[in-house]
């Protein structure tokens, strides 16, 4: 299972086409075909249906592993290269949108403990944060997600990463102010399984997470929102296009926010780091989780 073969396999699965994957990888269709054939021969089973190109059950299984493996391979290379490169001037920090509120605190701590350090900030989707930190593209990451009160976040590819909890916050259901449920003091998620949901996986709680949390197959999106702008999502909710689950602090004036009481879930922010020295990271984490809202 050569990583090259795995890489073309995921490319083909993503593109849904041998030729498109070939173009993306700089191979010929023939080479891609040979790669897939080699993988299928090696594993002794078809991995893709052709025409249309869709993974078989075995292929699905392999796909689940391939991404993390390739990511970890990159992380290993980045990690080794870092030991030979001279220490970078800039410290890079990435955060998912709903974790970005902690960026300012993190930044202040960095300025205090390492004055003069050049800092680069990035806000991007959760996957991009974890992958970037794993691959050494960022030094630090702040990701948010939902989890049971004292459980860690189920980060997809956190294989080589250290994580530290940084903040917890109640979850609320965001809904239009005139919604029948808007006056409720609290509600159970699974009563809303068949409501109109907006899936904003890069921003709010992804519906797939709600499904696993609620142990239900419902929570199907009426609308999918790709983007990281909180304000526009809230506008969509206010206009009645659907519901979303958010951390309490993300709610704003235009919408109603009702606490989600069942199941017991919280919005959680974690600090990720792949290679920072342990003391530096824990110092930062303690500042992030403490109330350093002085000045």
Footprint on this chain of DNA (rule: CB under 7 A):
2, 4, 17-19, 26-31, 33-38, 50-51, 53
How open is the CA angle 228-134-198, to the nearest 5 degrees? Answer: 25
Residues 64-103 that bind its own copies (CB under 8 A): 64-66, 68-69, 72-73, 75-77, 79-84
CB of 32 to DNA, least distance (A): 7
Name the one residue in this structure whose structure tokens are 């809303």.
192
Give the nearer residue to DNA in terms of CB position, either 54 or 239: 54
Dihedral sign of CA atoms 228, 230, 235, 240 in order: positive
Roughly how many angstroms between the first and final C-alpha of the chain, as a whole number? 56
Q: Reduced to 3 states, what is the DSSP secondary structure of residue 239?
A: coil
Distance CA 125, CA 143 (A): 9
The reply to whether 150 sits near its own copies by the rule CB under 8 A is: yes
CB of 18 to DNA, least distance (A): 3
Q: Which residue from 37, 112, 117, 151 is in contact with its own copies, where contact means CB under 8 A?
A: 151
From 149-157, 174-182, 235-243, 252-260, give the range in contact with its own copies by CB under 8 A: 149-157
| Binding partner at 83 among DNA, its own copies, none, C-beta below 5 to 8 Å by kind | its own copies
CB of 285 to its own copies, least distance (A): 13
| Binding partner at 68 among its own copies, DNA, none, C-beta below 5 to 8 Å by kind | its own copies
Q: Residue 9's closest CA among 39, 43, 49?
A: 39
CB of 288 to its own copies, least distance (A): 17
* DSSP symbol at 243: B
CA atoms within 13 A on the CB side of 9: 31
* 155: its two tokens: 């980060």
Distance CA 160, CA 286 (A): 21
> What is the number of other CB atoms lying within 10 angstroms of the CB of residue 61?
14
| Binding partner at 45 among its own copies, DNA, none, C-beta below 5 to 8 Å by kind | its own copies
Residues at the contact surface with its own copies, assessed by CB under 8 A: 1-3, 43-45, 47, 57-58, 61-62, 64-66, 68-69, 72-73, 75-77, 79-84, 150-152, 159-160, 212, 215, 278-279, 282
């Amino acid at each position: 299972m050569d990583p090259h073969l795995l890489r073309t396999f995921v490319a083909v699965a993503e593109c849904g086409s041998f030729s498109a994957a070939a173009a993306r990888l700089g191979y010929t269709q023939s080479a891609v075909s040979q790669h897939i054939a080699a993988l299928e021969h090696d594993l002794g089973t078809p991995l893709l249906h052709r025409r249309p190109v869709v993974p078989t059950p075995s292929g699905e299984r392999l796909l689940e592993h391939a991404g993390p493996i390739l990511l970890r391979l990159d992380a290993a290379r980045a990690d080794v290269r870092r030991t030979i490169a001279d220490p970078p001037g800039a410290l890079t920090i990435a955060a998912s949108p709903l974790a970005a509120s902690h960026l300012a605190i993190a930044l202040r701590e960095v300025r205090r403990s390492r004055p003069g350090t050049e800092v680069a900030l990035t806000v991007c989707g959760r996957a991009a944060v974890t992958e970037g930190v794993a691959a050494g593209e960022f030094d630090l990451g702040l990701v948010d997600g939902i989890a049971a009160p004292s459980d860690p976040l189920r980060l997809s590819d956190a294989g080589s990463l250290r994580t530290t909890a940084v903040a917890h916050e109640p979850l609320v259901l965001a809904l239009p102010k005139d919604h029948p449920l808007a006056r409720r003091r609290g509600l159970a998620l699974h009563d809303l399984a068949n409501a109109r949901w907006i899936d904003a996986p890069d921003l709010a709680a992804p519906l797939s997470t709600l499904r696993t949390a609620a142990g239900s197959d419902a929570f199907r999106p009426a609308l999918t929102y790709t983007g990281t702008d909180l304000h526009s999502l809230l506008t969509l909710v206010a206009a009645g296009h659907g519901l979303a689950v958010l951390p309490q602090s993300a709610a704003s004036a235009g919408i109603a926010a009702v606490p989600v009481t069942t199941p017991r879930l919280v919005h959680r922010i974690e600090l990720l780091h792949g290679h920072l020295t342990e003391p530096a990271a824990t110092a930062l984490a303690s500042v992030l989780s403490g109330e350093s809202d002085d000045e």
